[in-house]
Amino acid sequence: MSLLRPGTHQPVPRELVARCHELGLLTWRLDANGLPMEEPDAPELLAMWMSSKQFRAELTTLASAWSGMDTPQAVEPRPGMWVFPFEEVHRRRRTGYVVAIGFGREILESDLLEPSCVGGSLQLSAVRHQLAAHATLNERCAQHLSSSLRWMFNDLTRSTKDTQTIGGFTEQLGFAYETVTMLCELGRSMGSIDDPMSFIRAVAESLAETLQYGWVAVRLTDENGDKVHQYGSVRLDDGELGVTIARIDSGEPDAVAGSTQIYGVDDPSSRLGPQVVCHPIERAGKRFGMIIAGGKAGDDPQVSTYETKSFESLTGLLGAFLENVGLYEEQRQTFLGTIRAMSGALDAKDRYTRGHSDRVAHLSEGIARSLGFDEDEAKRVHLAGILHDIGKIGVPESVLCKPGRLTDEEFGKIKLHPEIGHEILKGIPSLRDVLPGVLHHHERYDGRGYPHGLAGEDIPLLARIIGVADTFDAMSSNRAYHSKMPREVVLAEIRKCSGSQFDPRVAEAFLTLDLSEYDRMVADHASQDAFTQAA
């Protein structure tokens, strides 16, 4: 197959006309009958001569001969005058020609010259003089020129058409690249399930940018109702958005392409339109909401299936993402529930430490934030706080709840709890990060702690943090072996032990904490305790 079938619309390439001029040829655009469509492209005097009735008659005669030919041929109608025709095509019909005209010396003696000058009221000597400057061709030269110009015409026509085709490919490829890049980037960021809104934003903004929508709204629906988040460069007001959503809810789209609904906007001045598109966000039969977009810019603001297919892909990604978010949240709640159950089991065993784990978790998280930990790290510290004493499950109740002083042997059993806790938890991959806090929270900064006698920075920071929080809470509450100490005494003790028992930086961070929430927790735990004892 050739790309060069007779074109629907095929003008003579402008570059060919320019090249003819460079070769010293004059050009003229004619209709299919050889009648001029424009002024000849020639010096003024020659143009006037060519416009004479006699000269024009030569061309109409030639056009009549060309009309019977598939490809019009170059001819020498008069000695020393060559006409090279190039056909123009519209809707596959020949509509005219651009002719290039060249002259040789013989034209100066031609019997065409005098009558055409008389007919055009031109001075023969002046025309002859100007024509002489253009009369550079001879027979052999004209034959070569004829072949060369025909090749040039074919090549330039093909090249023009191929350039258009390449333009089409380029545009499509550009769109495909944009779409693939968008999908790859979004695919990569699908992992950020702990921050769903940032992924939703990324999807909406990619849609707005790649498909040139002025506004994109993501409507999320759950058991608590609807929430609409708006993105893009155009910010709709609540009224505009409300009308749009009400119309979508009425369920009567103007058109449907696949599962994309399309709504026309009648008011041309509206920022909503010209069309509003809507695609549901669904996954495994569950509906999460919908993406709505409008205000499309660009050369063609009407919605095409190029866009609706992108909508389908993106809402598909979004559906899978939201399903993962739900599953992840469910899993997280199960996990946290298990952790709380474990710490509850410990609380049930030792009523004196009831609420201790929660309070240590709260204080440890506060210290971590004060030390500049990010959200994830702070949450991890919290979890380590909840679990730090879990090993006490393995310590006999008789020891754990013994009032008064412990024997060395009993204290030896208590001191095993960090290692027991480590043993209990080490098989749970998602708790790997909190293990150092469980194992080392009884180490001391000066190296006199247990179980490993680590000192200074060798003690994991997580454990140094829990160490301060744990000691503070132990001193601030009633235990089997002591009554709670007044706040100022406890704080003075923390200050005093900074640098020996505690990492000074951690102790300092602790001393800046606001303890009002802690006090509220103490009160809550005390009242729960009273309630369970009464029961």
Partner 1 sequence: MTKPLILLVDDEAHITHVMSRAVQSAGFEAMTAEDGEEAYELACERRPTLIVTDLQMPYMSGIDLAKRMNEHHELGNIPVILLSARGYVVSEEAGDLKNIRMIIEKPFSAKSVVGHIRDLIGGDESGRTAA
- Binding stretches for partner 1 (CB under 8 A): 1, 3, 5, 7-8, 91-92, 161, 164-166, 168-169, 172, 176, 255-258, 262, 302-306, 308-309
By C-alpha distance, which of 387, 282, 381, 379 is closest to 332?
Answer: 379
CB 169, min distance to partner 1, A: 5
Three-class secondary structure assignment of 476-489: HCCCCCCCCCCHHH
For residues 1 and 535, which CB has a smaller minimum distance to partner 1 in the complex?
1
Q: Is 516 left (phi over 0), alpha (psi -120 to 50) or beta?
A: alpha
CB-based contact 386:421 (threshold 8 Å): no
Three-class secondary structure assignment of 440-508: HCCCCCCCCCCCCCCCHHHCCHHHHHHHHHHHHHHHHCCCCCCCCCCHHHHHHHHHHHECCCECHHHHH
CB 368, min distance to partner 1, A: 51
Q: Is 297 left (phi over 0), alpha (psi -120 to 50) or beta?
A: beta
CB 189, min distance to partner 1, A: 24
For residues 87 and 350, which CB has a smaller minimum distance to partner 1 in the complex?
87
CB 166, min distance to partner 1, A: 8
For residues 109 and 171, which CB has a smaller minimum distance to partner 1 in the complex?
171
Helix ranges, 257-396 (H): 305-349, 356-370, 375-387
CB 34, min distance to partner 1, A: 26
Helix (H, G, I), strand (E, B), or coil: what is residue 264? strand
CB 160, min distance to partner 1, A: 11
For residues 257 and 509, which CB has a smaller minimum distance to partner 1 in the complex?
257
Q: What are phi and psi of 24, to 5 degrees?
A: 85, 15
For residues 279 and 356, which CB has a smaller minimum distance to partner 1 in the complex?
279
Give the count of alpha carbons within 13 A of 354, CB side only.
17
For residues 35 and 166, which CB has a smaller minimum distance to partner 1 in the complex?
166
For residues 23 and 89, which CB has a smaller minimum distance to partner 1 in the complex?
89
CB 254, min distance to partner 1, A: 9
By C-alpha distance, which of 42, 7, 269 is closest to 163?
Answer: 7
